[in-house]
Structure 1
C-alpha cells in the first residue's frame, strides 16, 4: 500500500504543472533567501493565497519548494556581504565570507550548493521513510490522544522559544484564544465575534499569517538604516568542488544532514539551531580545527547541509502529528487546511496522493535548487543590492493584495494590518510569534477533541490520565515546560554545585 502511494505521488510530482510549480517555487526561494532580512516564512505566507486556485498537490509543492530554495538562498548574502539572508544561514558566514575575501566566492557557492543538495535529498528520503511509520502509529489516536498531541505541540513550541518561556507560552495562549473566535463547532453558538458577521466563520488563518510575518518585516526594513553594502559584481573561479574536496566534505555533509533532520523533527528548533549544531560537530571531528572561521570548506558544508536537511525533518511532525516543526511548516500546514486537508494522524492514508506528491516535490526541488543555483547564482548576487526603500512598499502591497484575494473582503485587509501591528509590537518585547501561530493551528483541534474526550469520559478529566498514550504525552508536555522554568535552572545549578563540593 505504501509503495503504491509512493508511486502515485511520483506520478503527480512529475506532471508538467507540478514541475513548473517546483521550478517557480525554488526560484522564488533563491531570490527571497538572498535578500537580507526577508525570510522563507514571510514569502510562503505571501505566496499562499496564490495557491488557492491550484490543485492542492501542485500548490503545496510550490510552497515546499520555496522553503527549500530559501534555505540555500540565504547563503548568497552570507558569503557575499557577511549578512545571512535567512537566520538558518548564520553559521555560513563563519567560513563562507572568508572564502569570498580570499577570491574564492565561486568555490564557496559550489560547496554550499553541493552540501544543500545532499541535505535536501537525505531529508526527503527520511521524510518518505519515517513519516509513513509514524503515520501508521498515529492512526491509533482518538480524541483523547489528539487532545494530548495538541497540548504537547503548544507547550514544546512555547518552551523552546528563544528568550522568555513565559512569553512563549503566553503567545501560544493568545493563539488558542484567537482560534476560538467564530461559531462553536459543537454547539453552533458564536464566540468572541463582538457582533461582527465577518468573524462568524472565524479569523482567516492566512490573513493572520500574512500580517504577523510580513508587515513587521516591512516596518523593520523601513526603520533600518541603509548601509553601504560591499558586494561583488561577478566571480570567475570554478564553482564545482574537486574530487579531493568531495572526499573531504562528503562524510561531514552526511553527518550534518542527519543532525539537521533530527533537529528539524523537534518542534521549535529550525535551521538556525541545526546549522550551529552541525558546525560545532564538524569542528569537533575535523583534523583541521584551526581552519574553521578562516575559510574552511568543512565548516561551510556542515552549516549548509544541516539547514537544508531541516526542511524534511520539520515536515515529519507536521504531516504525521499535525504539530508544525517550524513557523514555515506551520504556514504550509495552513495551506493544506485551506484546501480542506487536515494534517495529522490520518493524512498519510486519507490524502496519501497529496502527501507523497509533497514529499517527491521536496526531493525534486533539491535537484532544481542545485541546477538553478549553478546557472543563476552569478546573477542572483545582484538581488543583495536592492534597496530597503523599494522592498518595504512592495511587501506591503503584496500583503494587501494577498489578504484581499482570499475572500474579496476589505475587512480581511484591516484584519491583516491589525495582526501586522500586533506582530510588530510582539517583536519589540521579544515575544515570539511562532507559538501564536501554532496556537491558532492547534486551537480548533484542541477545542473539538476536548469536547469529545469529556463526552467519552462522561465529564471526568481523569479520561486523559487513564489513557496511557495521553498520559505519557501530557507528562512530556509538563516536563518540557518545567525544564525551561527559572526554578528548574536553579535546582540544576544547585545540584551541580553540590557535586563539585562533594568531589572537592
Structure 2
C-alpha cells in the first residue's frame, strides 16, 4: 500500500504545468549541449544547476533530469555526422554511425540512435523503480564504518575513470580529496589549507567547484581549438521513421545492451564510456554478421546508444540509495539534491519516497520527449554543429559567471571558478582527467567525516571498519570491482592500440 501511495504522490507532482515545461526545456537544452562536441550533459547540468535554486524542487529536478537524458543521447549526433563524439560515451557510436552517413544513411543512423537511446533510458528507469526501494531497505544496517567503506568503494572506481594512465587518475583523485578538505573540519572545527583567508574557511562549495572543473575547463579547452575545428558538410538529411522490424530481429542484442548499460551505470564511478564499448563488443560477438561491424552496421549503433542511455537510470540507483554518484553527472546531481534540502543515502527511499518515484516518472517522460525531439530535429542538428566556437564560448562563460554569482552572491566564488578552471585546463594538458578529481572532491567529505565518526564511536579502534559482515562484504566488493575494472582497462587499452595500429596501416596504404 505504501508503494502505491508513494507512486501516486510522485505522479501528483506532475499535475503542475510548470513541471512539464521544465522537463521539455531541460531535454531541449541537453540536446543542444550534447550535440556540441565538448559541451556534454555534465557541462550543461553544472552550468544550469545554480539557476534552479529559486525553483521548487520538482520543476528543478524535472529540468535537470531532462538535461541528463537529452545530453547523453545527443552526443551521438556529431559522432554520426562528423565522426567526432559529443562525449566520451558516444565514441563507440562513431565506429558504425559515421560509415552509415558515408553510405547516405545519416537519417537512418540518427533515427536508430535516438530510438535506441529512448529504449535504453526507459529500460533503466523501470529498473530504478523496482530495485532502488529494495536496496534502500538495507539503509538501517549502515553506520559510520559502512558509510566509510561505501565511499572508499566509490574511490576505488578511480580505476574505471582514470583513462589510460592509472597513476595520473589516482593523483587526480587525491587532488580532489585535498580540495574537499579545504576549510573548517566538521568534527574538530580546525581549519586546513586556508592560507590565512577568512573566505576559505567555508571551503569550496559544490557548485563553484563543479562549474570550475567542468564548464570553465571545457571553455578554455575549446577556446584553444579555435581555428582548428573539424569542419562538417551540412546537407539535407531524409527523415527515417523508426521501424519495429529494425529491433525485433535483434531483440536479444538490444536487451543485453540495455542490461549492460544499467548494471554498469549502477556501479559508482564507471559511466557510459565503458558500457557503450562493452555493449558493442558483446553485440559483435553474438551477431550473425559480425563482419559488418565497423562498416556501417545498424546493430552497432543500436547497441552503443541503448547501452549509453541505459546508464542514466542505473546511475541513479547508487545516488539515491547509497549517496554515491554513479558518474560525473550524478556527482553534480548529488550536490543539487543537497542544495535543495535532501540528503541522498540509505534513508532517501524512506524519507523522500515520492521524490524517488518522481525521478522514475520524469526519466520516462524525458526519454519520450527526447525521442520526439530527436526525430523531428534530424534535419536541424547539422546547423547546431556549425555554430562558431568564438561565438559559443563567450556565451557559455557568461552563463557560468551568472550562475555561480546567483548561487551565493559573492565574488569569492567567481575567483574560485577562474582558478579551478585554469588548474583543470593545465591538468588536462598534462594528461590528467577531471572525472577522478570530481569523484574525490564529491566523496571527500563523506570519507573524512565518517572515518572520524567511526573511530570516535569505537574508542579509536581501527578494527571497527571490519566489525560487521556488511562492511566486510563492501570491502571485498571494492577489491573485486577494482580488479575487474583494471582488467577491463587493460583490455580496452589493448583494443585502442590495435585500432590505432590498423588506422596507421590504412593511412600508409592510402599514401602509397
Q: TM-score, normalising length from structure 1?
A: 0.91
Work out which of the residue numbers 234, 237, 252 in structure 2 matches 1:235.
237
Cα shift at 1:419: 0.7
Q: Aligned residue for 2:506?
A: none
| 2: CA distance, partners of 1:214 / 1:190 | 28
Q: Aligned residue for 1:61?
A: 62
* Worse-superposed segment, 245-254 or 258-267: 245-254
The superposition leaves residues 50-86 of structure 1 with CA deviations (integer Å, 9 ceiling, x where unpaired) of 1111112321221121111012211211221221122
Q: Structure 1 65/48 Cα, relative in aligned 2: closer, same or farther at 3 Å?
A: same
* Worse-superposed segment, 203-212 or 253-262: 253-262
Secondary structure of 2:425 counterpart: helix
The superposition leaves residues 381-407 of structure 1 with CA deviations (integer Å, 9 ceiling, x where unpaired) of 210111122222222222222221111
Q: Aligned residue for 1:440?
A: 441
Q: Aligned residue for 1:497?
A: none
Structure 2 residue 90 is matched with structure 1 residue 89: yes
Structure 2 residue 283 is matched with structure 1 residue 282: yes
Secondary structure of 2:242 counterpart: coil
Q: Aligned residue for 2:117?
A: 116
Write out aligned runs for 1:1-150 (5 A): 1-150=2-151
Cα shift at 1:305: 0.5
Structure 2 residue 224 is matched with structure 1 residue 186: no
Cα shift at 1:258: 0.8
Q: Aligned residue for 2:305?
A: 304
The superposition leaves residues 270-327 of structure 1 with CA deviations (integer Å, 9 ceiling, x where unpaired) of 1121111111111122112222222211111111111010111111111111111111
Q: Aligned residue for 2:461?
A: 460
Q: Aligned residue for 1:494?
A: none
Cα shift at 1:100: 1.8
Cα shift at 1:478: 4.8
Aligned residue pairs, count:
487
Secondary structure of 2:248 counterpart: helix
| 2: CA distance, partners of 1:243 / 1:205 | 44
Q: Aligned residue for 1:254?
A: 255
Q: Structure 1 77/14 Cα, relative in aligned 2: closer, same or farther at 3 Å?
A: farther
Deviation beyond 4 Å, 4+ runs, structure 1: 478-486
Q: Structure 1 148/244 Cα, relative in aligned 2: closer, same or farther at 3 Å?
A: closer
| 2: CA distance, partners of 1:190 / 1:178 | 13
**Does structure 2 retain, via aligned residues, the 8 Å contact 1:271–1:308?**
yes
The superposition leaves residues 437-467 of structure 1 with CA deviations (integer Å, 9 ceiling, x where unpaired) of 2222222222222222112211111111222
Q: Aligned residue for 1:498?
A: none
Q: Structure 1 286/11 Cα, relative in aligned 2: closer, same or farther at 3 Å?
A: same
Cα shift at 1:202: 2.2
Cα shift at 1:47: 0.8
**Does structure 2 retain, via aligned residues, the 8 Å contact 1:317–1:325?**
yes
**Does structure 1 retain, via aligned residues, the 8 Å contact 2:266–2:316?**
yes
The superposition leaves residues 311-362 of structure 1 with CA deviations (integer Å, 9 ceiling, x where unpaired) of 1111111111111111111111111111122211111111222222122111
Cα shift at 1:435: 2.3
Q: Aligned residue for 1:499?
A: none
Q: Structure 1 14/161 Cα, relative in aligned 2: closer, same or farther at 3 Å?
A: farther
The superposition leaves residues 210-265 of structure 1 with CA deviations (integer Å, 9 ceiling, x where unpaired) of 010112211221221434523233212x4213343232343322221111111111
